[in-house]
């Protein structure tokens, strides 16, 4: 059984319980997805997995697909339309009945399910050490010239160089982030919406992967 789905982050809102309790949630448009490829341990791949494609409202025209991807989708027998987003999900059982062309919908989730969400964080551009690594600033009085500078980052005698991995200024964000410990607050099967209690990485409209917690 496939234990996840691909979606797009919509934004944040809040839902109200019958007793008036307010819960902040992140809305994700999860799916619909279609199985594009199935891999088996007995085959040349050596492991059990399925490749899902995210079906979007605006379909992809076949003329806009490059030749390698066009051949990839033609192997499905023509029953699966081209998709922009493809992600792979592992299968625990080699005898899983999932086949190419099957739909994967948000109805596999239920209220209260524990999940984890994988996405790319927002890109913040070039950032200094205070913003990027939460360094403390230096003194701002008595002629100090080391207010936001990182300070000493290497020894002068040995090894006379900056060690690899030293925290410094540089590009911040735009990295793969996995957020665990999230909970499904509500599932809207009709509109393919998943309301998650907690923060989800990425900007609105970005692609995320939702997996059930094992």
- CATH number for the domain that contains residue 39: 3.30.160.810
75 touches 101 (CB < 8 A): no
Please give the pLDDT value at position 107: 86
- pLDDT, tens digit, for every residue of 48-92? 888 888 888 887 877 788 888 888 887 776 677 888 888 988 887
Query: Is 101 exposed, middle or buried (CB count within 10 Å of its CB: 0-12, 13-18, 19+)?
Result: middle
Answer yes or no: do 109 and 202 share one domain. Answer: yes
HEC sequence for 43-108: CCCCCCEEEEEECCCCCCCHHHCCHHHHHHHHCCCCCCCCCCCEEEEECCCCCCCCCCCCEECHHH
Q: Are residues 108 and 179 in the same domain?
A: yes
Chain CA centroid to CA 127, Å: 23
- How many other C-beta atoms are found inside a 10 Å radius of the C-beta of residue 162? 11
Q: Are residues 107 and 191 in the same domain?
A: yes
- pLDDT value of position 60: 80
Side-chain-side CA neighbours of 195 within 13 Å: the count stands at 15
The tally of domains found in the chain comes to 2
| pLDDT of amino acid 94 | 67
Q: Are residues 119 and 105 in the same domain?
A: yes
Are the C-beta atoms of residues 49 and 39 closer than 8 Å to each other? yes
Q: Give the span between the Cα atoms of 212 and 214, in whole angstroms.
A: 6
Per-residue pLDDT, 58: 81
pLDDT value at residue 63: 78
**Token pair listed for 211:** 């997996």
Spans of the chain, pLDDT less than 50: none
Same domain for 111 and 204, yes or no, is yes
* Residues 156, 58 share a domain: no
Q: Do residues 18 and 118 share a domain?
A: yes
Q: Are residues 11 and 58 in the same domain?
A: yes
* 179 and 166 within one domain: no
Q: Residue 32 belongs to what domain range?
A: 4-123+175-212
The SS3 of residue 13 is strand
Q: From the CB of residue 210, how many other CB atoms can be counted at a distance below 10 Å?
A: 26
């Amino acid at each position: 059984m496939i234990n996840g789905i691909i979606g797009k982050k919509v934004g944040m809102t809040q839902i109200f319980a019958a007793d008036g309790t307010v819960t902040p949630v992140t809305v994700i448009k999860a799916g619909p997805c279609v199985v594009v490829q199935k891999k088996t341990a007995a085959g040349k791949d050596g492991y059990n997995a399925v490749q899902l494609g995210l079906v979007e409202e605006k379909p992809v025209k076949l003329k806009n697909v490059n030749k390698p991807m066009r051949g990839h989708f033609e192997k499905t027998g023509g029953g699966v339309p081209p998709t922009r987003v493809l992600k792979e999900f592992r299968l625990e059982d080699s005898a899983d009945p999932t086949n190419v062309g099957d739909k994967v919908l948000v109805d596999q989730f239920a209220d209260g399910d524990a999940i984890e969400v994988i996405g790319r964080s927002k890109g913040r551009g070039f950032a200094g050490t205070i913003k990027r690594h939460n360094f403390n600033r230096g003194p701002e009085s008595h002629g100090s010239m080391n207010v936001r500078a990182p300070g000493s980052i290497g020894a002068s005698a040995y090894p006379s160089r900056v060690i690899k991995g030293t925290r410094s200024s540089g590009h911040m964000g735009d990295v793969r982030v996995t957020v665990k410990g999230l909970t499904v607050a509500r599932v809207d099967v009709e509109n393919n919406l998943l309301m998650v209690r907690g923060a989800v990485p990425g900007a609105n409209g970005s692609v995320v992967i939702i997996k059930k917690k094992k």
